[in-house]
Amino acid sequence: MGEERGHFSSRLGFILAASGSAVGLGNIWRFPYITAENGGGIFVLIYIVFVATVGLSVMLVELTIGRHAESNPVGALRKVAPGALSSLGYLFVFTGIAILSYYGVVAGWTVGYLVKSVFGELDADSFGGFIQNPTLQISYLAFFILITTGVVYFGVKEGIEKMSTILMPILLLLLIALIARGLFLPTAAEGLKFYLVPDFDKVSVKTFLYAVGQAFFSLSLGMGAMITYGSYIEKKENLLTCASSVVFFDTLVAFLAGLLIFPVVGGVIEKGGPTLVFVTLIKIFHDMPGGQIIAIVFFLLLAIAALTSTVSLHEVATAYLVDERKLNRHIAVWLVGGITLLLGIPSALSLGAVKWLSGLLGKGFLGIMDFVFGNIALTFGAMMLCIIAAYKWRLKNAVKEIEIGFPNFGKYKNIWGFFVSYISPLAIALMLIYVLITGEGLG
């Protein structure tokens, strides 16, 4: 299959596409409100330390497995972990579809709000009515899945890479322009203080829990997206540079998103929650001179970030159907799109449109999907990948793969090995046990 699978055309192409996967609603929508709910600056500090250590080590594991196998997660795990462990690949493919199904709902909101802001209909009080409207929810979901499928249809180089090369620089520019505006608001100082000055009294087990869940989600780890993207990296590339660039860029954008949102909303936003950007922020935009333009730019930014992530979720299942089931790519993409849309409908209807879906287990259908797939499955997946790399495939084989494009990896090999063999799986296992015992949501 090697020839037909396609490759990213350059290291930059990979970095933009993989950063596109990582940078998403997780950075701009979820990171600020999780930070707000978990004590501000102290959460940011713990998050950054976690990402730079455990996050980076798992990123390198995924890229290495992917490039070695040159295959989707199912084929890749069969190669590095033959036997029972390889069935993890199927969990990954399903997790991708599952996350895409509810992520697409929220991504649809960004388009809905973009449309609203273009027509000057932004109104903080309309959020409830919007998410409870079944027709709107399903239409925007379908629209977003359609666009995603359209990009994936064109393949790795012509679809995913080309889109990311155009959209990622735009995303960064929009973000910086918005930050520049926000910093001049009277609320800026108070917001920055909450965001940047750690308050050590606010640390609890929960702070760590949320940092772990947020890190894997934000870095697109634990479900094979990076295995899949890694499989399109050329052998001559330096995987450590690839991994650290993506981790750096993703964390930078999350940090910048905070730098945008906290100065705008000021200090007291602990109760922001998932509606932080759709309600709290809208209220402020509404009252601001030039607020309409700012809102348009902001929701455009969110929609772009979401799209470069949804294509990576979609690509995991598509690559599986193409590599393993020998399906024509053009058929595979529509199949994945269709299944995802069907699975997404209950999530789209669980925000008030259908009562029992909305109240399911106290979290609602979308909330349950996010907890099971966006948190637990990713965390479990990341742990299993470390275990597989260290104890089944063996680190010396992983190191050999990395050294093909980076002969000097030797210097870093021991520290990386230490994280992959002990620190990362143990830290993750402790978190999972805590969650299973207390039943607390990860993020």
Establish if 99 lies at the interface with ligand PHE (CB under 6 A): yes
Judged by beta carbon, residue 272 or residue 352, the one nearer ligand PHE is 272
Establish if 220 lies at the interface with ligand PHE (CB under 6 A): yes
Distance CA 379, CA 388 (A): 14
**HSE (CB half, 13 Å, CA atoms) of 192?**
11
Establish if 17 lies at the interface with ligand PHE (CB under 6 A): no
Q: 233: helix, coil or strand?
A: coil
Establish if 149 lies at the interface with ligand PHE (CB under 6 A): no
Q: Which residues are CB-neighbours of 76 under 8 A, at least 6 positions away?
A: 65, 66, 68, 69, 89, 224, 227, 231
Distance CA 347, CA 104 (A): 9
Number of residues that bind ligand PHE (CB under 6 A): 15
**HSE (CB half, 13 Å, CA atoms) of 22?**
31
Binding mask 380-399 for ligand PHE (x = CB under 6 A): --------------------
Establish if 50 lies at the interface with ligand PHE (CB under 6 A): no
User: Could you tell me which stretch among 3-11, 151-159, 212-220, 356-364 binds ligand PHE (CB under 6 A)?
Assistant: 212-220
To the nearest whole angstrom, how small is the minimum distance from the Cβ of residue 307 to ligand PHE? 11
> CB atoms < 10 A from the CB of 72, how many?
27
Establish if 164 lies at the interface with ligand PHE (CB under 6 A): no
Distance CA 413, CA 395 (A): 9
The sign of the torsion formed by the CA atoms of 344, 349, 354, 355 equals positive
Establish if 259 lies at the interface with ligand PHE (CB under 6 A): no
Establish if 302 lies at the interface with ligand PHE (CB under 6 A): no
Binding mask 223-242 for ligand PHE (x = CB under 6 A): x-x-----------------
Contacts (CB under 6 A) with ligand PHE, residues 24-43: 24-27
> C-alpha 411: how far from its chain's center?
30
Establish if 217 lies at the interface with ligand PHE (CB under 6 A): yes
Which strand (E) or helix (H) includes residue 401? helix 395-405
To the nearest whole angstrom, how small is the minimum distance from the Cβ of residue 197 to ligand PHE? 25
Residues forming contacts to ligand PHE in the complex (CB under 6 A) are: 21-22, 24-27, 99, 217-218, 220, 223, 225, 309, 312-313
